[in-house]
Structure 1
Amino acid sequence: MTTTVPSVSSWLRRPLPRPAARTSLVCFPHAGGAAAFYTPWARLLPPDVELLAVQYPGRQDRVGEAPAGTMDELAGAVAEALRVDRAGRELVLFGHSMGASVAWETALRLEGSGLGPRHVVVSGRPGPGRQRPGTVHRRDDDGLAAELRRLGGTHGDLLDDPEVRALLLPAVRADYRLIETYRPDTAARLRCPLTAVTGDRDEEATEAEVAVWRTATDGPFTGLVLPGGHFYLVAQAERVVAAVLGACGAPAPSAHPVLP
């Protein structure tokens, strides 16, 4: 794998460009995930909100780049991309699993530069101080693939294809190494509101563990539990998007109301 110096624009994807939007919903993928995971969300947003999906290096159209080695490297690069791209818009950050930690760290850096987001929503990840170290990144390819199957966020047929596995697993392993060796500053606090969401059957991020995110901000905190396991948001995209918009004070599109 070659190492290149990415441009700022290489970090952000716009599945449905909305140049006149007043708010950018910036979405951070899970370990091994890519910007395309959030593409279906773009059409669920109202006209004045544009989806920006973060593309980590080492996957899809960035497969030739070395994956980020540390949280500081990853969050610092995304924060810089957002500072350049912002164009006066309000930012709302959403991250799932590993992406929750990347979103929080990015928000801390944005606030440090005086360009903090309006709201941060973290999903499927224990709060700082309850995050679990792990050794999944040390497993062989079969062990790594087995973990992906267990969590259910990757189509099994992709893991059955040797050529796809060869392209997919290096980035997955790098992401797991990053997040399993990551040690958050438990004294760090955002100033903006923070919402934490998890599935009621998510063993990777229990309701009690996710509630610890209330210590990660000095702003208002809201906890939300939805039905499902670690990838509860796949089957409930409309409900999750409506909840994110509601948390930020933006109305959900009339065609996609919040479900009971």
Structure 2
Amino acid sequence: MKLFCFTYAGGTAAFYDELKELLFPSGIEIRAIDYAGHGSRRSEELYKNFDDLACDLYKTVINEIYDQEEYALMGYSMGTIAVAEVMKLICKEKVKQPVHIFLAAHEPATKKEVLNPDSKEADVYIKNLVMRFGGVPEKLLKNEVFWRTYLPLYKGDFQLIWKYDFSKLELKTDVPAAIFYTEEDTPRDKLCGWNEYFVSRNEYYQFEGNHFFIKKHCKEIAEIIVKNLKGRQGNGI
């Protein structure tokens, strides 16, 4: 069983390292995929739109699935849009579908921010947004070396999110979904919109904390994943 994981805006595959260790005893293999321009793929050009991102991730997933192998998809924050777009291609191409979907920390709502990406205003706005989410330590706010490396990634990814229009997402699938959230970050009433696209058995799991609540609740999330993928009689964590 493979669990393909898509990360947040500006993030890398390393975000899932702790979850990978927790799931290892259960036989669930996490396959965290870096976006182009991020992490192990930092030499590649950033995506211009979500179509490019989805096609890239779709090819990776399909190329790693054997005929009889079951798999699942997980997306955190921006990664939830990636999951939805990859699922759209999976349904369109009529290839083997995942057995389960896991979504975290992002409501299915269009976010239109009109900013000149090359302006100082955009730089400050994105830095403050990242800090508010809890994505980086406060001590790095004025670290020029850090921002010289990571600001272009955050800017590129946020531009994808801000250009994305959920009203144009043509997806209806009966693959069941587990949706992780906190009321502080993404209230339940905003998340229910996922039911429009994942129309079968969806379960919502509430936690405490900011946008990156997985850092404090990784073991609990791992247990939920095992329960859904291996059954209550599985190996456990």
User: TM-score scaled by structure 2?
Assistant: 0.88
Identical aligned residues as a percent? 21
8 Å contact kept, 1:211–1:223: no
Alignment of structure 1 residues 182-221 onto 2, 5 Å: 182-184=164-166, 185-202=168-185, 205-221=186-202
SS of 2:9's partner is: coil
Structure 2 unaligned regions, length at least 5:
none
Per the alignment, residue 105 of structure 1 pairs with 85
Provide Cα deviations, 1:158-178, integer angstroms capped at 9, x if missing partner: 443212211111111000000
Shift of 1:64: 1.9
Gap change, CA 1:33 and 1:213, over 3 Å in 2: same
Per the alignment, residue 171 of structure 1 pairs with 153
Select the structure with the greater relative contact order (CA < 8 A; seq sep ≥ 6): 2
8 Å contact kept, 1:92–1:120: yes
8 Å contact kept, 2:12–2:34: yes
Per the alignment, residue 122 of structure 2 pairs with 140
8 Å contact kept, 1:71–1:102: yes
SS of 1:68's partner is: coil
8 Å contact kept, 1:136–1:176: no
8 Å contact kept, 1:197–1:225: yes
Mean Cα displacement is larger for which, 114-123 or 187-196? Answer: 187-196
Provide Cα deviations, 1:179-206, integer angstroms capped at 9, x if missing partner: 111113344212311222211211xx22
**2-structure distance, mates of 1:164, 1:29:** 19
Provide Cα deviations, 1:52-80, integer angstroms capped at 9, x if missing partner: 00101112232221111111110111111
Mean Cα displacement is larger for which, 134-143 or 24-33? Answer: 134-143
**1-structure distance, mates of 2:162, 2:88:** 20
RMSD: 1.9
Provide Cα deviations, 1:104-128, integer angstroms capped at 9, x if missing partner: 211221233222111111111112x
**1-structure distance, mates of 2:116, 2:152:** 10
Shift of 1:234: 1.1
Provide Cα deviations, 1:190-249, integer angstroms capped at 9, x if missing partner: 2311222211211xx221111111111232222221122211111111111111222334
**2-structure distance, mates of 1:105, 1:168:** 25
**1-structure distance, mates of 2:100, 2:116:** 31
Gap change, CA 1:237 and 1:170, over 3 Å in 2: same
8 Å contact kept, 1:137–1:174: no
Per the alignment, residue 70 of structure 1 pairs with 49
Alignment of structure 1 residues 1-260 onto 2, 5 Å: 23-45=1-23, 46-88=25-67, 89-113=69-93, 114-127=95-108, 130-135=109-114, 138=117, 139-184=121-166, 185-202=168-185, 205-251=186-232, 254=236, 256=237
SS of 2:85's partner is: helix
SS of 2:172's partner is: coil
Structure 1 unaligned regions, length at least 5:
1-22
**2-structure distance, mates of 1:49, 1:150:** 33
**1-structure distance, mates of 2:62, 2:34:** 16
Shift of 1:136: 6.4
User: TM-score scaled by structure 1?
Assistant: 0.81
Provide Cα deviations, 1:30-64, integer angstroms capped at 9, x if missing partner: 11111001011111113421010010111223222
SS of 2:37's partner is: coil
8 Å contact kept, 1:34–1:56: yes
Mean Cα displacement is larger for which, 65-74 or 82-91? Answer: 82-91
| Count of residues paired in the alignment | 229
**1-structure distance, mates of 2:172, 2:98:** 13
Name the structure with the higher helix share: 2
